[in-house]
Structure 1
Amino acid sequence: MRTFSILMITASLIASTAFAGNDRDHYDSKRQGPQWKQRDFAIIRNVTPQYEQVSQPRQECSSEWVTETLPAPRASNSIAGTILGGAAGGAIGHQIGKGRGKDVATVAGTIIGALVGEHMADPYNVSQPANTVNREVQRCRQVNDYAQRVRDYRVDYEYRSQIYTTTMNRYPGEPGSRLPVRVMVELDE
């Protein structure tokens, strides 16, 4: 009886192992995607850099000399003379007029007094000569310089007598050198 029990346990283990393996094959056949990956090497046949044009803005400045004419300063005496002459003329005009004409005479006296006071302060109307000044002016403008830079590399490589083409961000190496590749094998159903 003991031998029979050992035989039954052994048979059930073998059956369950076979069933489990059969179930795994069934699961793998329904699964999609790569079943197996392998690393290998291809041979680089051609490397062509792909360029792009890049704008590099910069400031371009130049200097030039400009002659400016500054207004002449007015003599401070003529301002004081204008104020004093206007006040004196207004007072005299106020004494001359009567009624409504008194206001007109006051205004006229103020204007005439201001003109006379300005002339008395600067009788020859000699103002300072205009000043001319030379100064350097810097003018700047933005200029775009264009340069070409490598964007990526177009790589032709050979693997098992077939030519493939891809684009790489880094330089892969000289033609004739080895290029690591991953090979995926899938079931053909």
Structure 2
Amino acid sequence: MRTWAILGLVVSLFASTAHAGRGWDDDRDRHHQPKWQQKDYAVIRSVQPRYEQISQPRQECRSEWVTETVAQPSSPHYGGAILGGAAGGAIGTQVGKGRGRDVAIVAGTLLGAMIGDHVADPTRSSATTQTVNREVQRCREVNDYRQQLRDYRVDYEYRSQIYSTTMQRYPGEPGSRLPVRVLVELDD
């Protein structure tokens, strides 16, 4: 009985070790985690700044003097219309009798006022003009372009191999050291 117990214990130990080892290998294959990582230094061979062109629109305005012709309204003159209306009304009283006389007075007054207004100011029908200078502002949109640093192209040497990368910050002068991270994995 004792030998069967010892034999069962040994078999269960082998089974659990084999199962645990298989699980570790499966997990490693699934995630491809590096086994070892270290920091080292490479030597910078060249640093080239790279720029991009940026457009900035803005308004550009200037003033100009413009000569314009403007119509000037004339001021009204009522004297000619009043005198013409009175004369037309007086002439209308001389025409006709009764109701016809009343119509003749009204028509004579209106016609006399129109004729008197035209005789007093014959230039009113044609508008007078005046030449005026005024300042006008003209604007247009123009683009200003400027160069902005985008990143740096860096060539560096590590263990006799040349590598290239881009960096957002300035890494240093050529010949100076650049910190690198080295990952080591087993090659299956």
TM-score w.r.t. length of structure 2: 0.64
Take 1:141 and 1:181, find their aligned partners in 2: how far apart are those partners?
Answer: 52
- d(CA) in 2 for partners of 1:124, 1:28: 107
Q: Distance in 2 between matches of 1:34 and 1:111?
A: 111
Q: State the match for 1:135 in structure 2.
A: 134
Q: Which amino acid aligns with 1:156?
A: D
The 5 A counterparts of 1:19-58 are 22-23=21-22, 25-40=24-39, 41-58=41-58
* 1:116 alignment partner in structure 2: 115
Runs of 4+ in 1 over 6 A off after TM superposition: 14-17, 108-111
What is the DSSP-based 3-state SS (H/G/I as helix, E as strand, rest coil) of the residue aligned with 1:130?
Answer: strand
State the shift of 1:72 in Å.
1.6
Unaligned runs of 5+ in 2: 1-5, 97-106
User: Which runs of 5 or more residues in structure 1 are unaligned?
Assistant: 1-6, 97-107
Q: Does 1:68 align with 2:68?
A: yes
Shift of 1:126: 9.8
SS at match of 2:118: helix
Partner Cα separation in structure 2 for residue 110 and residue 23 of structure 1? 126
| CA–CA distance in structure 1, aligned partners of residues 113 and 180 of structure 2 | 101
Post-superposition Cα deviations, 1:162-184, rounded to whole Å, max 9, x if no partner, equal 11111122222222222222222
Q: Deviations over 1:116-162 (max 9, x none)?
A: 14314425659885332222111111111222222221111111221
Structure-to-structure mapping, 1:90-105, within 5 angstroms: none
Amino acid at match of 2:52: E
CA change 1:114–1:182 in 2 (3 A) is: farther
Residue 71 of structure 1: CA displacement?
Answer: 0.9
Q: Structure 1 142/123 Cα, relative in aligned 2: closer, same or farther at 3 Å? A: closer
Corresponding residue SS for 2:179:
strand
Give the whole-Å Cα distance in 1 for the aligned partners of 2:123 and 2:14.
Answer: 133
Structure 1 length-normalised TM? 0.64
Greater displacement, 17-26 / 156-165: 17-26
- Provide the C-alpha distance between the structure 1 equivalents of 2:38 and 2:125, rounded to a whole number of angstroms: 99
Asked if the contact 1:39–1:180 (Cα under 8 Å) also holds between the matched residues in 2, the reply is: no
Task: Specify the SS of the correspondent of 1:174.
Answer: coil
Matches of 2:70 and 2:124, distance apart in 1: 19
Amino acid in structure 1 at the alignment position of 2:59: Q
* Alignment coverage as a number of residue pairs: 170
Q: 1:126 to 1:77 in 2, by over 3 A?
A: same
What is aligned with 2:154? 155
- Asked if the contact 2:44–2:177 (Cα under 8 Å) also holds between the matched residues in 1, the reply is yes
Pair 173,184 (structure 1): closer, same or farther in 2 beyond 3 Å: same
Residues 65/124 of structure 1: CA separation in 2 closer, same or farther (3 Å cut): closer
